[in-house]
Amino acid sequence: PPADDEIEKTIEAMRESHAELRPVQREAKAGDIVMVDIDVTVGGRQLPPFARNAHVEAGRDSSIKGLGEAFVGLKAGEEKKVDLAFPETTSDETIRGKTGTFTIRATQVSEKIVPPLDEGFAKTVGVGSVDELRRAVKNELAHAAFHEARDAAADKMMDHALEAAKVEVPDLLVQDELDHMIADLRARVREQGLTFEQFLLQARKTEPEIRDEWRAAADRRAKAMLVLDAIAMKEGVTVSSNELAAQVAMTPLAQQDPQAMRDPVVLSSLARSIRNRKTVDKLIGLESPDAESELIKKAGGEAADFHGTGPAKPEQPKIIVPEKTDATPEGREALRAMLQKK
């Protein structure tokens, strides 16, 4: 079960996320939020804009050592230049490990007013009291621990299934999967308030480069879908209209664009996702709400949030499915072991 300090850290992070930002006319102190524009040169070469109107916390650790500290002491309207080294883990090999000159311009300094931990804050986040908040956070952490263990067990099971199965993945399916991955990326970038072009500039990559890097992952995902389709057919895994309707109701797109959720292609994709998840859950011992509830309770949670998840494409390449696909006992024991380590 989640430890008390983990619960308190999560609540502290929630309070931080609800902090009010109050502009101040003074130098930034550690913990203040500074709005900055940042440009970088490496060896005299100007890089694409590093940050524009970015909100950063003064003093907070960054992947670029010393950058967080560089914001401390800045006032609105001031500019500072600092020489800092890019880490060896930087994706862009042309600047990996090299020192760059960072020109930082502060446009605003704000202090964070963190709300007190009281009944008022609890109601802000949707519960009636601080005790209820702690209970809700404990339950959320338990569910997160369960899903982390479930995903790890599912990954191990899929590794085994993909190794044992013989599949020829048509290039068309790999390209289709790459298109889906890029579409997902575009959606996540939009949620962060950036255009895809801005993201590419910041990442210092082109779309073709990303596609090349992701091709192996797309090939694996396409192979996994075909294998799961075959296993689902063999095991008789199906999706009911009620399961599909419940999943549709939980999909954000249903609220944003109800008409889009009537698209047969969208519904087919959603049904396939449900069936794939149900297939994986069956193989790791989670084919019923009771099995999931039992493990969530072991993780310290109060109730299961059982959900299924997959349909298939009409054309199916020839696939040889491993003879033994029922890994229920092993899957359940793997999940138990993972949760007991939490």
Most confident among 72-76, 198-202, 224-228, 280-284 (mean pLDDT): 72-76
- Mean pLDDT value across the chain: 83
DSSP state of 74: -
Rounded Cα–Cα distance for residues 291 and 306 (Å): 9
- Alpha-carbon torsion angle 192, 193, 196, 202, nearest 10: -70
pLDDT for the residue numbered 54 = 93
Which amino acid appears at position 268 of this protein? Answer: S
Confidence grade of residue 153 (pLDDT, cut at 50, 70, 90): confident
Mean pLDDT across 288-308: 66
Domain limits of the chain?
A: 20-113, 150-340
Mean pLDDT across 228-255: 84
Better pLDDT: 118 or 306: 118
Percentage of the chain exceeding pLDDT 70: 84
Strand blocks (E) in 69-117: 79-85, 99-113
Of 166, 164, 158, 161, nearest to 318 (Cα)?
166
Instruction: Give the CATH number of domain 150-340.
Output: 1.10.3120
pTM: 0.62
Q: Which tens digit of pLDDT belongs to each residue from 113-147?
A: 999 999 999 999 999 999 999 999 999 888 888 88
Q: Which tens digit of pLDDT belongs to each residue from 277-290?
A: 899 888 888 766 67
Q: Is the pLDDT of residue 333 over 70?
A: no
Better pLDDT: 211 or 295: 211
Which amino acid appears at position 103 of this protein? Answer: T
Instruction: Give the CATH number of domain 20-113.
Output: 3.10.50.40
Confidence grade of residue 253 (pLDDT, cut at 50, 70, 90): low
Which amino acid appears at position 317 of this protein? Answer: P
Q: Which tens digit of pLDDT belongs to each residue from 18-61?
A: 999 999 999 999 999 999 999 999 999 999 999 999 999 999 98
Token pair in block for residue 63:
């992947």
Q: Is the pLDDT of residue 230 over 80?
A: yes
Rounded Cα–Cα distance for residues 69 and 59 (Å): 4
Token pair in block for residue 172:
């068309």
**Region class of 300: left (phi > 0), else alpha (psi between -120 and 50), else beta:** left
Rounded Cα–Cα distance for residues 272 and 172 (Å): 18
Q: Which tens digit of pLDDT belongs to each residue from 64-115?
A: 999 999 999 999 999 999 999 999 988 888 899 999 999 999 999 999 999 9
Whether residue 92 contacts residue 101, with contact meaning beta carbons closer than 8 Å, is answered with no
